[in-house]
Structure 1
């Protein structure tokens, strides 16, 4: 009997069908974030650094310097990750010799990304870029008191939505267009209401044009605080939760955008009851929103279990959001994405029926016993089988592949 067949039999004793779990996992796409590959620099010729509360630390060799290098790195990363996945693309990763200002970007500036995605069978999600720009130096964009600056960013947001819809139409897969702005105040403000009213009005103007759901899914993303906005963030969780409910759009929950003691997994079922769709940005905050590569830790396991047990996957879009320039950038993509998949697989392999029955009967002793004993089941054998069926390496073979590719790109400077 093979290792997998032995593990399959053990899970069957608990009423878990491993084949069903493997089939379900293969159908869950994860949106890899392009900005891990170049330290959130982007490809605008007139700029060259992140800003607006965003900072990547480290100078590991091999940063992608142009769209071609970034796509090559992504191709490698996707090749080490089982399944078929998506790309999360920011607006300042346009591919053109002469980048226009952000209020003049067009779909043509992203045609090479569309062509690549068609060839590789990836969907593309999108984001307007409201940072790393002279008109964001005050850490104010859509809520800026200056109407001219607001108009600039409103136009950028309109064009980003048009581009996202065009991408979704071209690829036959709806593009999730996620809106995050760095707006806030370093010191204590005296008129929060005015700033939030300006943000709401700007968002309404930006999203006035409707697009087919099959092409575009709008999402809004909150944050607790950031660099330069320590005292007040205009787009707080409460602001965007209310806005998403009123406007019937998706709500983005970024795991690094809450207080370190908050359990983001606990929020999923609560907000799912009131918003049409959810977007997750999966990251690992250390003390605050430091966006570390995700581990297979309790926070990720709880997130995955909530998604599976509450049947949220059908209306939830899973994306990653971390950027670590102290380690191999391609390895970071691969490790983080595979850890999200491992967490989902472990959730799919839990004896859900037994656990829910125990809880419904208020038998919390049984719930605890089942939870702890299930940890000893041979999950690793099921993961190895998944990798083998998807023709990707695991274990020592994976480590060798990651090291080989890093040595190939280390000469980039």
Structure 2
């Protein structure tokens, strides 16, 4: 270990210890947090089942930075490089369209065998897997409706796909020895004002009841449902609103997914965590950066990310919350996007773990709001960066921006030649 990094850590440890904060314990807690890193950043949400199918469901990726993964093997290689630069052991979040198979198979026909190479790879890498049915970018979703579709035959197709997805997720959990979270999100909605808001939601509820009818071992598999405010093509009405899924999740004991880009621009998910935690069995987070609503920018260490982390730590919600990332930026190196977003999320959690939460709570209970504000402000400049650098080096990954040289070398040697090979 770099002696300067070690020395800086010892000085920081003493400063935090003066307030009763054990930095070693904070790092131990951080090391147990598994972030679910989304595979779709690596190839702009194209997947491998229907690569020629145009993106739909309100999903849009901007930018044409060279080097996007074109095969499952390339995507796994890119993920390996990203994880080599991120401290800790984490999970990979797959969508159904990322099946690794030579078999021509539709979404409702998918089976665990079509993802076995992903499972074998995850075992080798010491990673977990999460899963999502892909209810978009498919001819049967072309009119903007899936599980709430008025045509029973189309609705049946999507019910079967989501049922198959749950079985795939359960197989992940069983083989990897850790629960797989399978999250259901559908883009269903109307571009203009609907005549009937109730019927689509009734159909969605009935479809979900069928999807979740098969009991699965919670040691292997957990269900989550995800809402959205509006989308491209569903500006006036989204069937699966926050109110719909909050009610459905609470009534049916499902994880409720909060995506930081799926609410009003001035509405934050950090303020929802404490309320939801009192009633929900668990929470799934999709952390992105909604610069202009659901724009899915790469996560950075901004105020809302810090507030999310603080709520999780101060409310002792880490054990009940599954943290996933969800952004897709095609304008920068895609491996770098993963590294920046994942490291930023871990930094936010570390900062929250290093705050004097008990002292702040006690000052608040005592009505000493002066101390509460003073401590909160002063701790913003405490040397958490020295603790982070130590954690990185202890974990065998580069501290600070040293990781960027590795990504640039990988880009030159691996990613850029992909485009050259395609042009030959």
* TM-score between both structures, scaled by the size of structure 2: 0.96
Q: Which residue of 1 aligns with 2:189?
A: 184
Structure 1 residue 49 corresponds to structure 2 residue 20:
no
Cα deviation, 1:153-181, whole Å, max 9, x if unaligned, reads: 00000000011111111111110000000
Q: 2:354 aligns with which of 349, 374, 398?
A: 349
Map of 1:71-110 to 2, 5 A cutoff?
A: 71-110=76-115
Q: Identify the match of residue 134 of structure 2 among 115, 129, 133.
A: 129
From 243, 252, 259, the counterpart of 1:238:
243
Residue of 315, 331, 338 corresponding to 1:333 = 338
SS for the counterpart of 1:397 is helix
Q: Distance in 1 between matches of 2:104 and 2:315?
A: 44
Query: Which 4+ stretches in 1 moved above 3 angstroms?
Result: 45-49
1:110 alignment partner, SS class = helix
Distance (Å, rounded) in 1 between the aligned partners of 2:400 and 2:406? 10
Equivalent residue for 1:411?
A: 417
- Alpha-carbon deviation of 1:50? 2.0
Equivalent residues of 2:50, 2:97 under 8 A apart: no
Per-residue CA distance 1:136-167 (angstroms, 9 max, x = gap): 01110001110010000000000000111111
TM-score when scaled to structure 1?
A: 0.99
Cα displacement (A) at 1:45: 4.3
**Contact 2:96-2:134 at 8 Å conserved across structures:** yes
Q: Distance in 2 between matches of 1:19 and 1:45?
A: 47
What is the aligned counterpart of 2:22 among 14, 17, 20? Answer: 17
CA contact (8 A) 1:45 1:98 kept: no
After superposition, what is the alpha-carbon deviation per residue over 1:321-341, rounded to whole angstroms, capped at 9, x for unaligned? 000000000000000000000
**Structure 1 residues 261 and 346: alpha-carbon distance in aligned structure 2, compared to 1, 3 A threshold:** same
- Of the structure 1 ranges 354-363 and 181-190, higher mean CA displacement relative to structure 2 is found in 354-363
Q: What's the CA shift for 1:103?
A: 1.0
RMSD: 1.0
Report if the CA contact (8 A) 1:29-1:84 is conserved: yes
Do the aligned partners of 1:42 and 1:92 also contact (CA within 8 Å) in 2? yes
Is 1:135–1:149's contact at 8 Å kept on the other side of the alignment?
Answer: yes
Contact 2:255–2:283 (8 Å) recurs in 1: yes
How far, CA to CA, are the matches of 2:213 and 2:310 in structure 1? 37
Distance 2:252 2:371 in 1: 43
Indicate the residue corresponding to 1:4 in structure 2.
9
Residue 214 of structure 2 is aligned to residue 209 of structure 1: yes
Asked if 1:114 is matched to 2:113, the reply is no
Summarize the Cα distance change of 1:46–1:62 in structure 2 as closer, same or farther, 3 Å threshold.
closer
Work out whether residues 281 and 319 of structure 1, in 8 Å CA contact, stay in contact via their aligned partners in 2.
Answer: yes
**Alignment correspondent of 1:276:** 281
Aligned match for 1:368, one of 366, 373, 378: 373
Q: Greater shift after overlay, 362-371 or 64-73?
A: 362-371
> Alignment length, in residue pairs?
413
Q: 1: distance between equivalents of 2:54 and 2:343?
A: 29
SS, match of residue 45 in structure 2: coil
Contact 2:53/2:138 (<8 A) preserved: no
Aligned mates of 1:269, 1:288 — CA distance in 2? 23
Match for 1:226 among 224, 228, 231? Answer: 231
1:366 deviates by: 1.1
User: Which residue does the alignment assign to 1:157?
Assistant: 162
The DSSP-based 3-state class of the residue aligned with 1:410 is helix
CA-CA distance at 1:98 after TM superposition:
2.7
3-state secondary structure, aligned to 1:289: coil
SS of the residue corresponding to residue 290 of structure 2 reads: strand
Q: How many Å separate the matches in 1 of 2:254 and 2:416?
A: 42
What does residue 383 of structure 1 align with?
A: 388
Residues in 2 aligned to 1:57 and 1:367: alpha-carbon distance in whole angstroms = 43
Identify unmatched segments of 5+ residues in structure 2: 1-5, 420-424
**What do the CA deviations read for 1:219-262 (whole angstroms, capped 9, x no partner)?**
00000011000001000000000000000110000000011101
Does 2:202 match 1:197?
Answer: yes
